[in-house]
Amino acid sequence: MKLSQLAAGLVLGFGIAGAAMAQTVMKINISTAQNSHQGVAIDTFAKEVAARTNNRFKIETFYNGSLGGERESIEAVQLGTQALTFSSTGPVPNFVPEAKILDVPFLFRDKAHARAVLDGPIGQEMLGKFDSKGFKALAWAENGFRHMTNSKREVHAPGDLKGLKMRTMENPVHIAAYKQFGIVTTPMAFPEVFTALQQGTVDGQENPLSVIISAKFDQVQKYLSLTGHVYSPCILLMNKAEYDKLSADDKKAFLEAAKVAVKANRDRVDADDAKGVAYLREKGMDVTTDVDKSKFVSALAPVESQFEKQFGKENLDRIRNYKAQ
């Protein structure tokens, strides 16, 4: 009797150990704080993956660039040393050049237009471009429309930007456009930006309200100008080999979890945009809302012709004129 009980106990013990061992742990990271539109996205994704796979997959979440900046994280996912990352598209063209087109200034009319493009055929075609580069692109998410901040002066028109030393993302489309505004561009990974602003290494930066709020840039920047010059997507990336190992049901679970995460992410961007200006004014920022965007568009005319040659006017027009069916 005792032997049979011992045997049963051992079987049970091994069963429990086996179940514990069966859990696959994957890491995902962002460069912003947990209490941000990106933090909401990866927290939601982790929770949804666990629920949809009966905890067979555990997604460990990391914030504030603790596993590296966006470029390093994308590289780690491509190499397979990290399973997942959630990134803005800033450094993405270094890996998937076709994605550059999404960062063209004043390409999207508003968030509804941008979301329709990314969720529709154009965006889904673009996600497929990542497969051959070692990624499975699970979904497009969002940073929002980018605005200028600086510590020197109000910005109403492009001329006000001349000579300002501004941190930019490591993105060739952004850099080309901002140089046209007269900005002295300084590419820099996001985790370094707050200190660079604090120390005066750069005068300003540009980011959506969600990022400006979560990064507490109001502590090191006086002026905010609602330029809305670029719509900034985010993307949820997975190592392609890791994704390919999943069963059909688990692939579906990851993709569905990504969709729920995107909704949470976009809802948070909407909430931050709704309250952002009032919040940042309360924090002491001088907010310029009367920006003449037509002057910014006109200032980009020389570089716009370069973009048309680079991407094809028909491709830019396809995005600009897209209407959801």
- The pLDDT assigned to 170 comes to 85
Which helix (H) or strand (E) element contains residue 30? none
- The pLDDT assigned to 22 comes to 83
Residue 46 to residue 253: CA distance in whole angstroms: 11
> What predicted TM-score, i.e. pTM, was given to this entire model?
0.89
- The pLDDT assigned to 17 comes to 46
Token pair for 147: 């605005």
- The pLDDT assigned to 3 comes to 52
Q: Say how many C-beta atoms besides its own lie within 10 A of residue 302's C-beta.
A: 9
pLDDT over 80 at 303, yes or no: yes
Separation of CA 323 from chain center:
24
Strand partners, 25: 58
- Kindly report the CA angle at 127 between 114 and 232, in degrees rounded to 5? 35
pLDDT over 70 at 1, yes or no: no
Taking 3-state DSSP, the helix, strand and coil percentages for the chain, each rounded to the nearest 5, stand at 55, 20, 25
Average per-residue pLDDT for the chain: 93
- The pLDDT assigned to 211 comes to 95
Token pair for 82: 């990290």
Contact of 160 with 153, CB cutoff 8 Å: yes
- The pLDDT assigned to 324 comes to 80
What is the mean pLDDT of the segment spanning 139-165?
97
Contact of 165 with 202, CB cutoff 8 Å: yes
Tell me the per-residue pLDDT of 107-124, one tens digit each, with 9 for 90 and over: 999 999 999 999 999 999
116: Cβ–Cβ under 8 A, 6 or more apart, which residues? Answer: 322, 323, 324
Residue 182 to residue 34: CA distance in whole angstroms: 34
In one-letter notation, the amino acid at residue 116 is A
What is the mean pLDDT of the segment spanning 181-190?
95
Residue 21 to residue 225: CA distance in whole angstroms: 52
- The pLDDT assigned to 147 comes to 98
pLDDT over 70 at 4, yes or no: no
pLDDT over 50 at 221, yes or no: yes
Between 248-282 and 37-52, two packed helices, what is the crossing angle to 10 degrees?
A: 160
Token pair for 308: 């048309």
- The pLDDT assigned to 9 comes to 55
What is the mean pLDDT of the segment spanning 242-264?
98
pLDDT over 70 at 202, yes or no: yes
- Helix, coil or strand: residue 169: coil
What is the mean pLDDT of the segment spanning 43-69?
97
Burial 243-271 (b: 16+ CB within 10 A, else e): beebeeebeebbbebbebbbebbbebbee
Place 19 in a pLDDT band, splitting at 50, 70 and 90.
very low
pLDDT over 80 at 74, yes or no: yes
- Helix, coil or strand: residue 253: helix
- Helix, coil or strand: residue 199: helix
Contact of 19 with 198, CB cutoff 8 Å: no
Place 71 in a pLDDT band, splitting at 50, 70 and 90.
very high
Length of the chain equals 325
**What 8-state DSSP symbol labels residue 239?**
E
Q: Which residue in this structure is represented by tokens 């941190």?
A: 167
Place 12 in a pLDDT band, splitting at 50, 70 and 90.
low
Q: Say how many C-beta atoms besides its own lie within 10 A of residue 68's C-beta.
A: 18
Q: Which of 56, 55, 96, 58 is nearest to 75 (CA)?
A: 96
pLDDT over 60 at 56, yes or no: yes
| Fold for the domain defined by 2-320 | D-Maltodextrin-Binding Protein; domain 2 (3.40.190)
- The pLDDT assigned to 78 comes to 98
Q: Say how many C-beta atoms besides its own lie within 10 A of residue 282's C-beta.
A: 10
What is the mean pLDDT of the segment spanning 287-301?
95
pLDDT over 80 at 281, yes or no: yes
What is the mean pLDDT of the segment spanning 55-60?
98
What is the mean pLDDT of the segment spanning 114-140?
98
